[in-house]
Amino acid sequence: MVSTFIAQNRIAISRLFWLGALIALLLTEKMYAGRLIGNLLPMAGLVLIGIAVVGRLWCSLYIGGRKNSELVTEGPYSMTRNPLYFFSLLGFVGIGFCTRSISFSVCVLAFFVLVYPSVIASEEAFLRARFGAVFEAYCERTPRFFPSVARYRASEVCEVRIQQFRRTAGDVIWFVWLAGIVALVEALRPMLVQPLLTVP
């Protein structure tokens, strides 16, 4: 099935998408460049990327080294069953904003909507098979994607797996790297190529 293929190859698919996006970025002129909205979009993007980085690190404090072996239901996982993907969405949209283009931002959002529901469904099917009624009860009280702050709960003590936390820190830095690459492409584009298209 297509959904299974997507779930199993999401990292490769994501890399191909971002490569294509950077090439498209290089070949297009941004309609809002130099305007107020063109200046505000990257600022908003950096804020979203910052939230995404902090959010994913927060998730790692709870789930690092426990994924698939324990059902984590505290901290960010008490507000949504998929906080890692929620914060990833914020990071993706933030990178889209950094291009100063609403069109690119919409494309990034569309990519997430097309790819990640299959990933989430696949992971939840595994958890349902592994944890059974406990997972079903968790699903009943916890939203699938968008967080409910009112449902937040956490213990006073959280055991942190340092090695996994470091690995996550290495992963989330890619949001910052992508924002930097976008800025570099935008700065070098006038010297490298003539834009083929102007987009909003």
Residue pLDDT, tens place only, 13-35: 888 887 887 777 777 766 666 67
* 24: phi then psi, degrees, rounded to nearest 5: -60, -40
d(C-alpha 182, C-alpha 95), whole Å: 8
pLDDT of residue 199: 60
Residue pLDDT, tens place only, 32-85: 666 777 788 889 999 999 999 999 999 888 887 677 678 888 989 999 999 999
3 state SS of 198:
strand
Average pLDDT over residues 172-192: 81
Taking the CB of residue 151, how many other CB atoms lie within 10 A of it? 12
Does residue 196 register a pLDDT over 60? no
d(C-alpha 195, C-alpha 12), whole Å: 28
Tell how far CA 72 is from the center of its chain.
20
Does residue 106 register a pLDDT over 80? yes
Which ranges of the chain would DSSP assign to H, the alpha helix? 2-8, 10-26, 36-63, 83-98, 102-131, 133-141, 162-192
More confident of the two residues 2 and 42: 42
User: Tokens 């426990």 appear where?
Assistant: 66
* Highest mean pLDDT pick, 27-41, 82-96, 148-162: 82-96
pLDDT band, residue 100 (cuts 50/70/90): confident
pLDDT of residue 3: 66
Burial group, residue 181, by CB count within 10 angstroms (0-12, 13-18, 19+): middle
Residue pLDDT, tens place only, 111-148: 999 988 988 998 999 999 999 999 999 999 999 999 99
